[in-house]
């Protein structure tokens, strides 16, 4: 048993000792060139993957930005219409102080102002949407 252990230890030392032998300069140069080429290929692949990932992320950001712009345009439209509706109601209430043709003209003007404000809001919302 002792002989077996001693033989195993001796074989291990011989194997370890053989691993530390210096290689020829040509072999070292080839190994270095191969390692540099492999490293360059790995870097190139990583850069390509990173570029793809960044492109995908940028597309997602663009989509979210478009959603944000569309939501903002819709909300701006809704706000403008609400303001126009409020102005119309106030104008119609003021029209009640007049009578006859003056009241009708006042109401027609309030409706025209409302329709113009809604059309402006719609045009602005369309120009802001992406």
Q: How far is CA 35 from CA 19, 22, 31, in A?
A: 19, 18, 6
Cβ–Cβ under 8 Å, residues 129 and 73: yes
pLDDT digits (tens, 9 = 90+) for 34-52: 999 999 999 999 999 888 9
Share of the chain above pLDDT 70, in %: 84
Average pLDDT of the chain is: 85
- Where are any strands of DSSP class E within 1-130? none
Share of the chain above pLDDT 90, in %: 47
Work out the pLDDT band at 4, boundaries 50, 70, 90.
low
pLDDT digits (tens, 9 = 90+) for 79-119: 999 999 999 999 999 998 989 999 999 999 999 999 999 99
pLDDT of residue 22: 80
Helices 25-95 and 100-128 pack at an angle, to 10 degrees, of 180
């Amino acid at each position: 048993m002792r002989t077996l252990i001693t033989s195993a230890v001796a074989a291990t030392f011989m194997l370890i000792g053989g691993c530390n032998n210096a290689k020829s300069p040509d072999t070292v140069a080839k190994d270095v060139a191969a390692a540099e080429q492999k490293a360059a290929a790995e870097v190139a692949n990583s850069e390509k993957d990173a570029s793809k990932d960044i492109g995908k992320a940028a597309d997602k950001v663009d989509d979210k930005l478009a959603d944000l712009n569309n939501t903002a345009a819709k909300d701006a439209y809704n706000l403008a219409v609400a303001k126009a509706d409020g102005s119309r109601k106030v104008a119609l209430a003021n029209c009640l102080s007049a009578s006859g043709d003056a009241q009708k003209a006042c109401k027609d003007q309030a409706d025209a102002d409302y329709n113009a404000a809604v059309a402006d809001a719609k045009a602005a919302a369309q120009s802001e949407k992406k």
